[in-house]
Structure 1
């Protein structure tokens, strides 16, 4: 039986799977356990994306009203950071499809 864990990622605010072997090396029962645990985590990703989208909307509204160039730069940086997090969450959200297709090949 191979080792695996789910580590907390503060930036994305979800647990990320850490597999210490290639997926194919895990026994089928372990693969199923990993997929089940990941499905629970994966199910929270759309809500997390919506939270970040709301933060982007708030920052964009602040940016629209902002007269200070320096503050505008800070807001733009924060918007880009939130957008990057959303992109990463979308990538993690698709991981399940990759695990499923590997399991069935």
Structure 2
């Protein structure tokens, strides 16, 4: 029996995301239910992960406020942007509850 799906840990997002070997509509209903059940468990961790990233953003904003070095300020701004982008991607995954896309969000 070939594996139709797996959940791969995404280091950037801090969660496992689905990796489907077939298009969603080609997967039998039983397997779809199994995937969705596993996804719901993972999906439940997303708000906590977002909160962790928001705390990091807040820390970096405080550091930015006190930073006088322009180059370092730019680095901190870039880090804040990357964290905000990760939060955005997490919310996209959070909304992907009824149908899991085969698109990669890397």
Q: Same fold (TM over 0.5)?
A: yes
1:2-21 to structure 2, matched below 5 A, reads 3-21=4-22
CA RMSD of aligned residues (A): 1.4
Instruction: Give the C-alpha shift of residue 22 in structure 1.
Output: 1.1
Asked if the contact 1:59/1:79 (under 8 Å) is kept, the reply is yes
Residue equivalent to 2:39: 38
Aligned residue for 2:93, secondary structure, equals helix
TM-score (norm 2): 0.89
Moved over 6 A (4+): none
Flag the structure with more relative contact order, 1 or 2, with Cα contacts below 8 A and sequence separation at least 6: 2
Q: Deviations over 1:70-91 (max 9, x none)?
A: 1101100000000000000011
* Structure 2 residue runs without a partner (length 5+): 101-106
More helix by share: 1
In 1: Cα distance, 2:83 partner to 2:28 partner? 37
Instruction: Give the C-alpha shift of residue 25 in structure 1.
Output: 1.0
Aligned residues: 99
Instruction: Give the C-alpha shift of residue 27 in structure 1.
Output: 1.1
1:7-86 to structure 2, matched below 5 A, reads 7-86=8-87
